């Protein structure tokens, strides 16, 4: 989504940092598209596409680390994130020492709700993705993300076709 790329640039300038970008394996992406088409996720779910484009690149990047920080919150997905602890041994990924238990996952805002997050962002003048002002609450890749309507849960804008 172009707004997200513009946001990356804003963050780099605001904080004077350089973001390290991680990309999927081009051969895997090409094989997925060649074998299943550009929009196969609409038919057989988002898992395979996300695994190739997001999970595997993240797994590769985390291999060189001992810990990582997420922005996951319990209130984002009560069904799947309700029990997220603030600090945990990562149950999915491995770190630089390899094997189960080799990577610490820190979820510092696990117990913070959306309203408190937004109050903090405003108070501290933290840049935010311009898509938020257009109704996008949970932002992912372009075909899998759409704005949510008033009263909808923030994650209802993600993988929306799977709920119908």
Question: Exposed, middle or buried by CB within 10 Å (0-12, 13-18, 19+), for 109?
Answer: buried
pLDDT tens, position by position, 88-144: 999 889 988 887 788 999 999 999 999 999 999 999 999 999 999 998 888 888 878
Instruction: Work out the pLDDT band at 78, boundaries 50, 70, 90.
Output: low
**DSSP H or E run through 61:** helix 56-62
In a domain, 25, yes or no: no
- pLDDT at residue 153 above 60? yes
The overall average pLDDT reported for the chain is: 89
CB contact at 8 A, 9 and 134: no
Q: Which residues contact 83 (CB under 8 A, 6 or more apart)?
A: 74
- Give me the DSSP letters along 64-81: T-SEEE----GGG-HHHH
Total number of domains constituting the chain: 1
In a domain, 59, yes or no: no
In a domain, 95, yes or no: yes
In a domain, 85, yes or no: yes
In which domain, by residue range, is 93 found? Answer: 65-124
In a domain, 162, yes or no: no
Instruction: Work out the pLDDT band at 164, boundaries 50, 70, 90.
Output: very low
In a domain, 77, yes or no: yes
Q: Name the CA dihedral angle for 33, 138, 3, 27, rounded to a multiple of 10 degrees.
A: -20
In a domain, 132, yes or no: no
In a domain, 129, yes or no: no
CB contact at 8 A, 127 and 142: no
Q: What is the pLDDT of residue 117?
A: 96
């Amino acid at each position: 989504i172009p707004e997200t790329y513009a946001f990356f640039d804003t963050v780099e300038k605001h904080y004077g940092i350089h973001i390290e970008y991680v990309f999927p394996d081009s051969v895997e992406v090409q094989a997925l598209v060649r074998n299943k088409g550009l929009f196969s996720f609409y038919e057989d779910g988002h898992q395979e596409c996300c695994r190739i484009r997001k999970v595997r690149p993240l797994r590769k990047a985390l291999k060189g680390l001992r810990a990582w920080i997420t922005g996951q919150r319990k209130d984002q997905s009560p069904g799947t994130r309700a029990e997220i602890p603030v600090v945990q041994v990562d149950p999915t990924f491995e770190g630089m020492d390899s094997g189960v238990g080799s990577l610490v996952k820190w979820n510092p805002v696990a117990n913070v709700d959306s309203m408190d997050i937004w109050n903090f962002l405003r108070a501290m003048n933290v840049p935010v993705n311009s898509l938020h002002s257009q109704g996008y609450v949970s932002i992912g890749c372009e075909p899998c993300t759409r704005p949510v309507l008033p009263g909808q849960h923030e994650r209802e804008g993600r993988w929306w076709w799977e709920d119908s």
